[in-house]
């Protein structure tokens, strides 16, 4: 523990050194006086007008409201990015993306030398726990720094799905309450609730109550679960001892400015967020001044420790809370998803309350005092070059002096792709200048066509979705998600060859897209094209070494070739990055089981059993792990245990072919032909792609069972 604290203090001093001096004794000392607990609740994709202390038109959120009447409601709080990962990095570091370097939900990771709120509070003597609702805040992205517990345990799903892996608010709240029950003061709990994010699918009774507005139904469900958390704090008499902050990472457009969801534009529909602060020394009220996510860290520092934290780009809101005014300032924001993933024009800007400047090929300027919904673009009334100069100066001022910006396409990566035949001569290069044709407003019809196509697919309009996605690709060859989603549709329809072909085409046109590279490598591994998969996946891990999924599939590809040593190294690297990755433990179990079958080394079968059991301890619904564990038990003669495992597998998935076959064959070997027949017949129905030889073998077994 002492070594950890020393390390954290070193990080704090390093961070301070980048910004200037601070009062070290006051900042680093751990006072003897009792400290307030800290609860930070982040509701993903939340619009303030769906919380009833802001607006009652859509629904009531009574639990958040009963907290809000005890504290301060900030009417004008803003995010700096309309995406989950960078927005939470902004909150938990007090820094903007030009400094911390996290601009998107993928291919970025918070570096270890950036001080986080959790690390700062560890120095102050806090125990720290985070409870995460969805994949964008997975520990692989670096926000776990400083947390004693970082609970990001969601169900195991395949990589090539349309929506992020998530877990409902009830599960997140359950995990946080289990942790809180074992804590002594002071503690810091960070709770991330994902539910209002698309797709909107609240549980009952909220789904029926809000059948015409499922987004509001998701918010109502989240409020209901927050009520459980508040009730616990009240029962334990912790409410008066706890600073509570409720906010959102970003909003949701819901059609405003033509945008269906978020992550594309940077209007107030996705940057305006709720902010409510409740605490022992905070008087109830409302504040209309403009405040920002980067202000949370320095505000918490001053509330808890009485110190003005210098190693942040935000400012403490304590003077505002005490009735004073904040200094005038320019505050940076950005929306760069389309730039990093498609090579479309970047969107950056700054607030200078009440004004807002958005820089892009078709720039915009708004007076938010008179036009908060940004209907009237006043850019013709300003000196555009002057505002662009100010934005350039602001971004330069905010940029980490030690940061090295990587190009979208590394020359080495381009050469590897060219040598493998994925990029033609001359190779595609990233644009350095952009015109109106690259502006996000110009390209919005394509973005919305994509959204409609995917909505249609989920309603069963498969061919219509395929046609629309192909049309999008024909019109704009750098639309990354059109390739990835079209490939996934083909894969789900059993058209693996077409899935591979479309991703190969996507990579040729988008060599800068990590999303396409990773999806392509994974699909090749799943298709059994081991050599090609290894080539592509190696490029992927050279681009971004922090993705355990890529290392897992690289291990699978090596294993498929029988190269157990390199497979083992890849799996071990995956576990270095994510020690709680159930699929990797399952795959390690399979590897050691295969080694046992080859070498008959009892140590290998024992390791296989251990790994399968570890996988199931992390994901009790991982069907393949039950099947593998059953196979291992059978090899050591524990037949009953094997049958139990396979039976559990088909309880979870009645059409799981491997378990059906194993049950049928094992009961046949035991002489129970009646039971064997049931499973073998089911296997024959489920298994559609049996070879003639395999089918004849099963038919002979079935015939014998019937006699």
Q: Which domains does the chain have, with CATH numbers?
A: 2-330 (3.40.720.10), 412-574 (1.25.40.10)
Over the stretch 450-475, which tens digit does the pLDDT of each residue have? 999 988 998 899 999 999 999 999 99
What Å distances lie between residue 185 and 37, 67, 103, 497, 555, CA to CA?
7, 21, 35, 58, 44
pLDDT tens for 579-604 read: 888 999 999 999 999 999 988 889 99
pLDDT digits (tens, 9 = 90+) for 7-20: 555 565 555 555 54
Specify the pairing of strand 331-335 against strand 285-292.
unpaired
Give pLDDT, residue 657: 93
With 50 as the cut, is the pLDDT of residue 24 above it?
no
pLDDT score recorded for residue 426: 47
Residue 82 pLDDT exceeds 70: yes
pTM > 0.85: yes
Report the pLDDT averaged over residues 618-635.
94
- What is the average pLDDT value for the chain, to the nearest integer? 90
Counting Cβ atoms within 10 Å, is residue 177 exposed (0-12), middle (13-18) or buried (19+)?
middle
Residue 688 has pLDDT above 80, yes or no: no
Q: Over range 234-260, report the average pLDDT.
A: 96
Mean pLDDT of 333-359: 95
Q: What is the pLDDT of residue 107?
A: 78
Instruction: Report pLDDT digits (tens) over 412-453.
Output: 665 656 555 655 544 455 678 999 999 999 999 999 999 999
pLDDT at 692: 87
Three-class SS of 1-36: CHHHHHHHHHHHHHHHHHHCCCCHHHHHCCCCCCCC
The neighbour count for residue 461, using CB atoms within 10 Å, is 15
Residues 510-534 pLDDT 10s: 887 888 988 999 999 999 999 999 9
Q: Are 428 and 510 in contact (CB under 8 A)?
A: yes
Instruction: Check residue 13 and give its pLDDT.
Output: 54
Q: What is the pLDDT of residue 407?
A: 56
Instruction: Tell me: pLDDT of 689 over 90.
Output: no
Question: What is the percent of the chain with per-residue pLDDT over 70, rounded to a whole number?
Answer: 90
Asked if the model's pLDDT at residue 5 lies above 60, the reply is no
Examine the pLDDT at 44 and tell me if it is beyond 70. Answer: yes
Cα–Cα distance, 448 to 147 (Å, whole number) = 39
Q: Is the pLDDT of residue 130 over 70?
A: yes
CB 482 within 8 A of CB 473: yes
């Amino acid at each position: 523990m002492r070594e950890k604290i020393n390390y954290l203090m070193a990080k704090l001093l390093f961070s301070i050194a980048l910004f200037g001096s601070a009062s070290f004794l006051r900042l680093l000392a751990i006072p003897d006086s009792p400290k307030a607990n800290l609860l930070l609740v982040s509701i993903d994709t939340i619009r303030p007008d769906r919380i009833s202390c802001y607006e009652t038109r859509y629904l009531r959120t009574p639990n958040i409201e009963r907290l809000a009447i005890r504290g301060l409601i900030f009417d004008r709080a803003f995010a700096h990015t309309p995406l989950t990962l960078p927005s939470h990095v902004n909150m938990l570091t007090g820094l903007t993306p030009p400094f911390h370097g996290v601009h998107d939900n993928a291919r970025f990771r918070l570096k270890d030398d950036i001080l986080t709120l959790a690390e700062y509070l560890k120095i102050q003597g806090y125990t720290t726990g985070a409870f995460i609702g969805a994949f964008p805040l997975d520990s692989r992205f670096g926000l776990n720094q400083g947390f004693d517990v970082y609970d990001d345990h969601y169900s195991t799903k395949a990589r090539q799905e349309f929506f992020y892996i998530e877990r409902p608010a009830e599960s997140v709240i359950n995990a946080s309450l289990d942790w809180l029950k074992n804590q002594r003061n002071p503690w810091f709990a960070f709770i991330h609730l994902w539910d209002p994010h698309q797709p909107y699918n609240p549980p009952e009774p909220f789904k029926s109550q809000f059948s015409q507005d499922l987004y509001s139904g998701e918010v109502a469900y989240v409020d209901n679960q927050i009520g459980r958390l508040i009730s616990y704090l009240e029962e334990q008499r912790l409410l008066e001892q706890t600073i509570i902050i409720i906010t959102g990472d970003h909003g949701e457009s819901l059609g405003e400015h033509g945008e269906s969801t978020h992550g594309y534009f940077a209007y107030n529909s996705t940057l305006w967020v709720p902010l409510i602060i409740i605490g022992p020394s905070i008087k109830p009220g409302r504040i209309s001044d403009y405040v920002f996510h980067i202000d949370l860290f320095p505000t918490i520092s001053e509330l808890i420790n009485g110190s003005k934290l210098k190693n942040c780009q935000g400012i403490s809101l304590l003077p505002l809370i005490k009735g004073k005014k904040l200094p005038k300032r320019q505050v940076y924001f950005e929306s760069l998803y389309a730039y990093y993933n498609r090579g479309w024009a970047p969107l950056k800007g700054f607030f200078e309350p009440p004004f807002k400047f958005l820089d892009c090929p078709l720039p915009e300027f708004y007076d938010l005092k008179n036009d908060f919904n940004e209907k009237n673009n006043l850019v013709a009334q300003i000196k555009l070059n002057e505002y662009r100069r100010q934005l350039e100066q602001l971004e330069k001022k905010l940029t980490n002096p030690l940061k090295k910006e990587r190009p979208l396409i590394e020359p080495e990566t381009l050469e590897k792709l060219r040598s493998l035949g994925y990029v033609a001569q001359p190779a595609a290069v990233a644009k350095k200048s952009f015109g109106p044709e690259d502006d996000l407003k110009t390209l919005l019809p394509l973005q919305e066509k994509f959204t409609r196509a995917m909505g249609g697919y989920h309603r069963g309009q498969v061919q219509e979705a395929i046609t629309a996605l192909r049309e999008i690709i024909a019109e704009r060859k750098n639309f990354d998600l059109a390739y990835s989603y079209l490939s996934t549709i083909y894969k789900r329809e059993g058209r693996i060859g077409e899935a591979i072909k479309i991703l190969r085409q996507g990579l040729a046109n988008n060599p800068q897209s990590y999303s396409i590279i990773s999806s392509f490598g994974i699909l090749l591994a799943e298709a059994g094209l081991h050599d090609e998969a290894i080539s592509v996946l190696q490029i992927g891990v050279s681009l971004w070494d922090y993705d355990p999924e890529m290392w897992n599939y690289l291990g699978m590809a090596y294993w498929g070739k029988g190269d157990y040593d390199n497979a083992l190294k890849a799996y071990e690297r995956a576990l270095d990055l994510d020690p709680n990755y159930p699929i990797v433990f399952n795959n390690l179990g399979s590897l050691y089981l295969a080694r046992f079958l080859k070498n008959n080394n009892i140590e290998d079968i024992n390791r296989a059993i251990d790994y399968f059991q570890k996988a199931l301890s992390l994901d009790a619904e991982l069907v393949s792990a039950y099947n593998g564990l059953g196979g291992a038990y059978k090899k050591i003669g524990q037949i009953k245990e094997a049958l139990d495992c396979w039976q559990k597998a088909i309880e979870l998935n009645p059409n799981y072919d491997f378990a059906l076959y194993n049950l049928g064959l094992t009961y046949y070997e035991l002489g129970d032909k009646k039971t064997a027949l049931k499973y073998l017949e089911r296997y024959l129905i489920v298994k559609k792609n049996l070879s003639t030889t395999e089918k004849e073998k099963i038919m002979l077994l079935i015939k014998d069972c019937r006699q």
